Structure 1
């Protein structure tokens, strides 16, 4: 079974990107397990921790390393990715030489209440992932306006289903193409 972790780039209890992640879970085909990778226990990163990594950070790195690929669902704050997501990425990439994203296939999507979705945040995220040597899905780009994806009651709009199914199929193919092969 292919395991893909999804990271919600927000700590909000009403995160629309968590809602997006849960919708993707329901659309996952048989043989694909989507699991949320939770970084909420992380404190702010500082290199002072590199010599003695905290338990929460070790667990975070292990969660990333324990999946075949990652989908990052990011909101956009002030035309960039949220600080909490950047902090989680910093923890995952440290200490130097132990980058949990190195070679890990990643796909990006995001939902926002704004008209341009999460385009600027995703561009910044792509730059970070390039530095991490994480093969990142180029197409399709998915910049969602929340009201075009979910009804007021939180249900997935039927018009959005094909967009999410296409993205998920591309993400799965990307993960299966780039996931490291276990050597017996």
Structure 2
């Protein structure tokens, strides 16, 4: 079998016990052998400031390089105030610069949004779908995945216990794997 495709999974929440991080880790456990998911949190990525582009901070360079070396990117995000969290937007700004040299350019993209509420972060996903064209590669359109009611889906060891959610995540990660394979032929 060929080496697995390295996928950077960007977690859009920095909360220690975030549902988003738990979902990202569950996806990593459910991923088929064709994918190796590298779950990345956004702790330590400094604020984007165009004044620093001539001499970017080390954290920007490391984040950009990680994305550049990947075969694709999977965003897993909660919804904050009907949009994406500020830390995620900052990370996108850092990785998409300097102008014309986005680290996401050409990378196949997946989007998983979530919420403990009933809407599943649909607005966050839609905002990512608005932000990413022009700075990324193709975005997986189907299946779309908006996870709602995730607040009780994990046990105290962060293990996924909700069977229906596990089934949805498994279906999505399998579809994403097929998408990555098609894009990297």
Q: TM-score scaled by structure 1? A: 0.91
> Residue 6 of structure 1 corresponds to which residue in structure 2?
9
> Residue 169 of structure 2 corresponds to which residue in structure 1?
164
Q: Would you say the 8 A contact 2:19–2:151 is kept in 1? A: no
Matched, 1:155 2:159: yes
Deviation larger for 79-88 or 21-30: 21-30
Q: How far apart, in 2, do the equivalents of 1:148 and 1:174 lie?
A: 29
> RMSD in angstroms over aligned alpha carbons?
1.6
Q: How far apart, in 1, do the equivalents of 2:152 and 2:183 lie?
A: 29
Q: How far apart, in 2, do the equivalents of 1:104 and 1:149 lie?
A: 33
Q: How far apart, in 2, do the equivalents of 1:142 and 1:45 lie?
A: 29
The alpha-carbon deviation at position 44 of structure 1 amounts to 1.1
Q: Would you say the 8 A contact 1:37–1:63 is kept in 2? A: no
Matched, 1:68 2:76: no
> Residue 174 of structure 1 corresponds to which residue in structure 2?
179
Deviation larger for 158-167 or 113-122: 158-167
Q: TM-score scaled by structure 2? A: 0.91
The alpha-carbon deviation at position 149 of structure 1 amounts to 7.0
The alpha-carbon deviation at position 151 of structure 1 amounts to 4.1
Instruction: After the TM superposition, list the runs of 4 or more consecutive aligned residues in structure 1 that deviate by more than 3 angstroms.
Output: 146-149, 151-155
Structure 2: stretches of 5+ with no match in the other structure: none
> Residue 117 of structure 1 corresponds to which residue in structure 2?
120
The alpha-carbon deviation at position 152 of structure 1 amounts to 4.7
> Residue 84 of structure 1 corresponds to which residue in structure 2?
87
Q: Secondary structure at the residue paired with 2:73?
A: strand
Matched, 1:104 2:113: no
Change (3 A) 1:146 1:108: same
Cα deviation, 1:57-115, whole Å, max 9, x if unaligned, reads 00000011111111100110000001110000000011112100111000000221111
Structure 1: stretches of 5+ with no match in the other structure: none
